[in-house]
Amino acid sequence: MPSCLPRRAPQRADLAAWPSVESRLLRQGTYLDALAGEDSDDLENRIGTRLMVLYRDTREQECFEALYAFSRASVLSWIKSLLGRDLGHVDPTEVLQDTFVNVYRYPASFREEHAGSFRVWVRTIAGNVVRRASASRSRIPVLELGDEEVDLRDGTRGPVETATDEEQEQRLRKAWILLLCHYAQAWKELSQRDRRTLHLVEVEGLSYQEAGRLLAVGRSNMKMIVFRSRKRIARRMREAMVCGRGAERPELVA
């Protein structure tokens, strides 16, 4: 009997929903069919890396949406494996969104070193998000339950509630992408030093002291730089969203 499970049969990468992205990859010499010796995981890693390179180099919304849709399931599966039972209180979908927010914000930090570079990079980001989420949770005091009556009503959601949830999820996805657009514009308006500082703290997960050592800045000054940068981004996004009310919004992919 074989000592391990067989590798999954390779499939063609499905990017039909983004024909222009698919065409760009093909023009760049990226094969969407599996190469010799590739299984489905290898194919997904290679195409995910090429999509990330395309988004990094173009910063185009369509490229990011294709990357998110293509790699979302595997990244979510990885996040769930990180959480396990010990971190069951952490919502994996929130970790997923925070992970891709960082992918959206910091594409310049991605380096294509091999076919699986995006998998390694995005899992590193997800791991940092999970650690921050678990650390913040551990600081929340746990209250003991008394002898109060417990509500044992069936919380199963019916078809109406399910349909409502799906509609709200679609709206939330569109709002999230629009929010990312505003963030990207606000991010561009920061100085190079401020962008570098936020990247070290929020993406690489360095402490203020560690990041300050790299930038030759004291810990207290680092905290102030991060605080002011976040405030500038929040203010710029608020201004953009207020000015954008009633204006025509870009078409978003549901």
> Among candidates 158, 178, 182, 181, which has minimal Cα distance to 170?
178
| Full-model pTM | 0.54
Where is average pLDDT lowest: 98-107, 111-120, 231-240? 231-240
Are the C-beta atoms of residues 201 and 146 closer than 8 Å to each other? no
pLDDT band (50, 70, 90) for residue 136: low
223 pLDDT higher than 50: yes
Q: 129-161: b or e for each residue (b if 16 or more CB lie within 10 Å)?
A: bbeebeeeeeeeeeeeeeeeeeeeeeeeeeeee
Residue range 170-243 in CATH 1.10.760.10? no
Stronger pLDDT, 88 or 111, i.e. the higher one: 111
Which residues, 6 or more positions from 1, have their beta carbon under 8 angstroms from its beta carbon? none
pLDDT for the residue 137 = 57
The pLDDT score that the predictor gives to residue 124 is: 92
104-126 mean pLDDT? 92
State the Cα–Cα distance between residues 128 and 49, nearest whole angstrom.
20
Band the pLDDT of 48: cuts 50, 70, 90: very high
**Crossing angle of the two packed helices 40-58 and 19-27, in degrees rounded to 10:** 100
Band the pLDDT of 116: cuts 50, 70, 90. Answer: very high
pLDDT at 28: 92
Which tokens sit at 219? 């810990």
Residue 245, pLDDT above cutoff 70: no
- Give the C-alpha separation, 189 to 194, whole Å: 10
Instruction: Please give the Cα distance from 151 to 161 (Å, whole number).
Output: 20
Q: What is the pLDDT of residue 74?
A: 93
CA distance 222 to 211: 8
| Amino acid of residue 23 | S
- Does residue 69 carry a pLDDT above 70? yes
Rounded average pLDDT over 76-83: 89
Q: How many CB atoms lie within 10 A of CB 65?
A: 18
In 154-218, where does DSSP find H-type helix? Answer: 159-188, 192-198, 208-215
Please list the residue range(s) of the chain that carry CATH number 1.10.10.10.
170-243
How wide is the angle at C-alpha 47 spanned by C-alphas 106 and 3, nearest 5°?
Answer: 115
Q: For residue 133, what pLDDT is reported?
A: 78
Residue ranges matching CATH 1.10.1740.10 in the chain: 19-138
State the pLDDT at residue 46: 94
Mean residue pLDDT of the chain comes to 79
- At the topology level, CATH places domain 19-138 in Rna Polymerase Sigma Factor; Chain: A (1.10.1740)
Between the alpha carbon of residue 126 and those of residues 94, 99, 105, 120, the distances in Å are 11, 5, 14, 10
Could you give the CA distance from residue 122 to residue 9 in angstroms, rounded to a whole number?
A: 24
C-alpha Rg value of the chain to the nearest Å? 21
Backbone dihedral region of 234: left (phi > 0), alpha (psi from -120 to 50 degrees) or beta? alpha
